[in-house]
Chains A and B, each alone.
Chain A
Amino acid sequence: SQQGEEDPQALSIQEGENATMNCSYKTSINNLQWYRQNSGRGLVHLILIRSNEREKHSGRLRVTLDTSKKSSSLLITASRAADTASYFCATDLMNRDDKIIFGKGTRLHILP
Chain B
Amino acid sequence: DAGVTQSPTHLIKTRGQQVTLRCSPKSGHDTVSWYQQALGQGPQFIFQYYEEEERQRGNFPDRFSGHQFPNYSSELNVNALLLGDSALYLCASSLYGAGGNTEAFFGQGTRLTVV
Is B59 an interface position by the 8 A CB rule?
Answer: yes
**Within the complex, which residue of A40, A42, A96, A103 is in contact with B56, where a contact is CB–CB below 8 Å?**
A96
**Within the complex, which residue of B4, B101, B104 is in contact with A30, where a contact is CB–CB below 8 Å?**
B101
Interface range for A: 20 to 34
**Within the complex, which residue of A1, A4, A42, A48 is in contact with B106, where a contact is CB–CB below 8 Å?**
A42
The answer to whether B103 touches A45 (Cβ under 8 A) is yes
B89-115 near A? 1/0 per residue, CB < 8 Å: 010101011111111111111010000
Q: How many residue pairs bridge A and B at CB < 8 Å?
A: 82
For the residues of B in contact with A, the DSSP-based class is loop
Distance A60 CA – B43 CA, assembled complex (angstroms) = 25
Q: Number of B residues whose C-beta is below 8 Å from A?
A: 35
Which A residues lie within 8 Å of B100 (CB)? 29-31, 92, 94, 96-98, 100
Having A40-B109, A45-B103, A48-B103, one finds 10 other A-B pairs with CB under 8 Å, namely A41-B108, A43-B90, A45-B104, A88-B43, A92-B100, A97-B96, A98-B48, A100-B100, A100-B104, A102-B35
Question: 8 A–B contact pairs at CB < 8 A?
Answer: A40-B39, A41-B109, A42-B108, A43-B90, A45-B103, A45-B105, A98-B56, A98-B96
A residues contacting B by CB (< 8 A) are: 1-2, 4, 29-31, 33, 35, 40-45, 48, 50, 88, 90, 92, 94, 96-105
Shortest Cβ-Cβ A-B pairs, 10 listed: A30-B100, A92-B100, A102-B42, A42-B108, A43-B106, A104-B42, A45-B103, A102-B43, A42-B106, A99-B56
